[in-house]
Amino acid sequence: MYSKAKKIIIPILVCFAFTMQAQQKENKEKCRYTKTTSGYLMVLREGDNVLSSIENLVKEEKIPSANFTGIGFAQEVTFGFYDFNQKKFNPKTFYKVEMGSLTGSIAWSEEKPSLHIHGVATDDKFDAYGGHILALKVGTGSMEIYITLNQDKLERKIEQPLNANVLQLSCPK
């Protein structure tokens, strides 16, 4: 009896494993963004790195500058609070949270995309945490990011004495 059950269960488990593997591969290959009338809509999925996904879109589509907003589930988010005396971010990471708000800007710095992102995350007790985002990975579900394009290419440069990467403006005279 045990042998018969084993002969039935093992092929089912093998089939299930192959199906799950194929589904994971399909999820990785799914479209992550689409063009809209004002820019782009990104839909990121579990495990996606939000910052590198936005940077890749900026490079692929040659986005001169933009601003964005988003919402969704985060597997983990690292916020940084800037210490003006030490001139660096003090990081703190939170796990399995919901991004109630995500907002940022896209510019360039030394020929590379430069993102400035802030957000608010809530946990299962509805406690909220927020600030400058240093890292963000999508959790169970998805994350939606709406990117609105600007016409002009914007640059960021390190300014002293803060040692901060500041958005530069070209103001008309």
Region 25-43 average pLDDT: 83
Question: Is the predicted pLDDT of residue 45 greater than 80, yes or no?
Answer: yes
27 or 89, higher pLDDT: 89
- With 80 as the cut, is the pLDDT of residue 107 above it? yes
Question: What mean pLDDT is predicted for residues 94-114?
Answer: 96
Query: Using one digit for the tens of pLDDT, what is the confidence trace for 109-156?
Result: 999 999 999 999 999 999 999 999 999 999 999 999 999 999 999 999
Residues 79 and 98 in one domain: yes
Same domain? For 98 and 114 the reply is yes
Q: Is the pLDDT of residue 23 over 60?
A: no
CATH number for the domain spanning 40: value is 3.30.1330.80
- Whether residues 4 and 47 share a domain: the answer is no
Q: Are residues 46 and 5 in the same domain?
A: no
> 96 and 86, same structural domain?
yes
Looking at every residue in the chain, the average pLDDT score rounds to: 89
- pLDDT above 70: residue 30: yes
Amino acid (1-letter code) at residue 167: L
**C-beta of residue 157 within 8 angstroms of C-beta of residue 129:** no
Q: Is residue 99 part of a domain?
A: yes
Please tell me whether residues 97 and 117 are part of one structural domain: yes
Instruction: Note down the domain range covering 147.
Output: 32-165
The answer to whether residues 3 and 53 belong to one domain is no
Whether residue 115 sits in one domain with residue 98: yes
Type of residue numbered 109? S
The total number of structural domains in the chain stands at 2
Q: What is the rounded distance in angstroms from the CA atom of residue 145 to the CA atom of residue 43?
A: 6
Q: Where are the beta strands (DSSP E) in the chain?
A: 33-35, 39-45, 65-83, 88-109, 112-122, 128-150, 155-159, 164-168
Q: Are strands 88-109 and 65-83 parallel, antiparallel or unpaired?
A: antiparallel
Q: What is the pLDDT of residue 125?
A: 96
Interatomic CA distance for residues 35 and 20, integer angstroms: 30
Task: Assess whether pLDDT exceeds 90 at residue 9.
Answer: no
Does position 4 have pLDDT exceeding 70, yes or no? no
